Homo-oligomer: A and B are copies of this chain.
Amino acid sequence: MHFTIDTNTFINGVQQANKAVSSRTTIPILTGIKIRATATGITLIGSDSDISIETFIPSSDEEHEYITIHEEGEMVLQAKYFAEIVRKMPGDALTLKKEGQMAASIASDNVVFNLNGYDPDNYPRLPQLQEEQVFQLPQYLLKDIISQTVFAVSSQETRPVLTGVNFTITDKELTATATDSHRLAMRTISVEAEEALDIKNVIIPGKSLVELNRILDDREDMVTIVVTSTQVLFKIDHLLFFSRLLDGKFPLTSHMIPTEGKTTVTLSTKALNRSLERAMLLSREVKNNVVHVKSVGTDQLEISSISAEVGKVKETIEATDLNGEELEIAFNGKNISDALKVIDSETISVLFTGAMSPFVIRPMNEKQMIHLFSPVRTS
């Protein structure tokens, strides 16, 4: 293997593949990045066995020539050093060449690195997916769906399926759901797909989605998504992002969402969030972020929290369209605050079903997003 490449183009490619590499892997060769040089360009692969990223740098496009391939071949180089070396190279171009069995020389201007590597034949193959279940989404929308749900996944491994976001598609409508059993975030959206496409119980690990979101842009370009029973593949320009799926059955959640309640109210998203942040100053350490809310008259909510050691806070915020029974409830303020942060709408509508029953927050005039929360018992 021997090629010369535009340094900045190579830096970008190596950084993308490197996003899949984990320093905590127990499989030594996965600390490496696989580099493949063919006549048409350079392929870079990184993997932590849960996710894999393959990115392709074409030798040229209509405007520029990026790569000169002197000799085709494959290598695996230690990601940690390789990525930093490439980034610190002084010249506009660099030359990478296989030396001996598995080592490489990387040269640019007056600098030459020699870097030891691994046998590329031992690098695991990427999965070959049957492209039967396929649909498309614009990048910015996929990015939205992920950030509006993934924060609600469980961080505990006691019920592994809850550490992922569940994706379903029926009648060209996609639903993404995440829950840690104390809160639930759900987003629906129309997708471009075959009429008959029916996808159920596709649970993508939250960690994979967080990593994917670092790669996605706010662009309108379409992402093609391929689903099989064990893997999902996102195709973004020249990049392939693979993730394993979580085994097991995601709980049925649609019936959990109340449609009628005892108290309804409309609130300013920002005012509520600022108020919760103040309340949590006192409750976050000792009291698990417990925040108390009660209705005051017909147009105010009182928000309070208390810590025996530190002190207490009490404030009122304006409530519009406060209807139904008087309200007195306590909840984990951080869960609500997390949800408010992904709501773009200036106002939210809240539906309470009783002091000890779940309540619903939706962006105003928006049917495609639902956040559900369990109250906490205080005595």
Whether A312 contacts B113 by the Cβ 8 Å rule is yes
Q: Which of B81, B282, B313, B316 contacts A311 (CB 8 A)?
A: B81
Say yes or no for A281: interface residue by CB 8 A criterion.
Answer: yes
Map CB proximity to B onto A96-127 as digits: 1 under 8 Å, 0 otherwise: 00000001000000111111100000000000
Map CB proximity to B onto A291-317 as digits: 1 under 8 Å, 0 otherwise: 000000000000000000111111111
Whether A88 contacts B274 by the Cβ 8 Å rule is yes
Whether A309 contacts B112 by the Cβ 8 Å rule is no
Also in contact, A81 and B281, with CB within 8 A (given A88-B274, A274-B88, A317-B110): yes
Closest Cβ neighbor of A302 among chain B residues: B110
Also in contact, A116 and B311, with CB within 8 A (given A111-B278, A274-B90, A282-B81): yes
Whether B115 contacts A311 by the Cβ 8 Å rule is yes
Q: Select the residue from A85, A277, A311, A314 with max chain B CB neighbours within 10 A.
A: A311
Say yes or no for A78: interface residue by CB 8 A criterion.
Answer: yes
Say yes or no for A171: interface residue by CB 8 A criterion.
Answer: no
Also in contact, A113 and B316, with CB within 8 A (given A88-B278, A281-B84): no
Min C-beta distance of A77 to chain B, whole Å: 9
- Tell me the bound Cα distance from A316 to B115 in angstroms: 18
- Tell me the bound Cα distance from A88 to B281 in angstroms: 9
Q: Select the residue from A90, A112, A275, A310 with max chain B CB neighbours within 10 A.
A: A310
Closest Cβ neighbor of A310 among chain B residues: B81
Min C-beta distance of A11 to chain B, whole Å: 14
Whether A314 contacts B112 by the Cβ 8 Å rule is yes
Also in contact, A112 and B315, with CB within 8 A (given A310-B78, A310-B81): yes
Closest Cβ neighbor of A109 among chain B residues: B315
Min C-beta distance of A308 to chain B, whole Å: 9
Whether B315 contacts A111 by the Cβ 8 Å rule is yes
- Tell me the bound Cα distance from A316 to B81 in angstroms: 21
Closest Cβ neighbor of A317 among chain B residues: B110
- Tell me the bound Cα distance from A115 to B306 in angstroms: 10
Provide the residues of chain B in CB contact with A277, threshold 8 Å. 88
Map CB proximity to B onto A70-95 as digits: 1 under 8 Å, 0 otherwise: 00000000100100110010100000
Closest Cβ neighbor of A281 among chain B residues: B84
Whether B110 contacts A316 by the Cβ 8 Å rule is yes
Map CB proximity to B onto A271-289 as digits: 1 under 8 Å, 0 otherwise: 0001101100110000000
Min C-beta distance of A28 to chain B, whole Å: 12
Provide the residues of chain B in CB contact with A310, threshold 8 Å. 78, 81, 115-116
Min C-beta distance of A339 to chain B, whole Å: 20
Q: List 22 A-B contacts (CB under 8 A).
A: A81-B310, A85-B281, A85-B313, A88-B274, A88-B277, A88-B278, A88-B281, A103-B311, A110-B315, A110-B317, A111-B275, A111-B314, A112-B313, A113-B278, A113-B311, A114-B311, A114-B313, A115-B310, A115-B311, A116-B309, A116-B310, A116-B311
Interface residue ranges, A against B (CB under 8 Å): 78, 81, 84-85, 88, 90, 103, 110-116, 274-275, 277-278, 281-282, 309-317
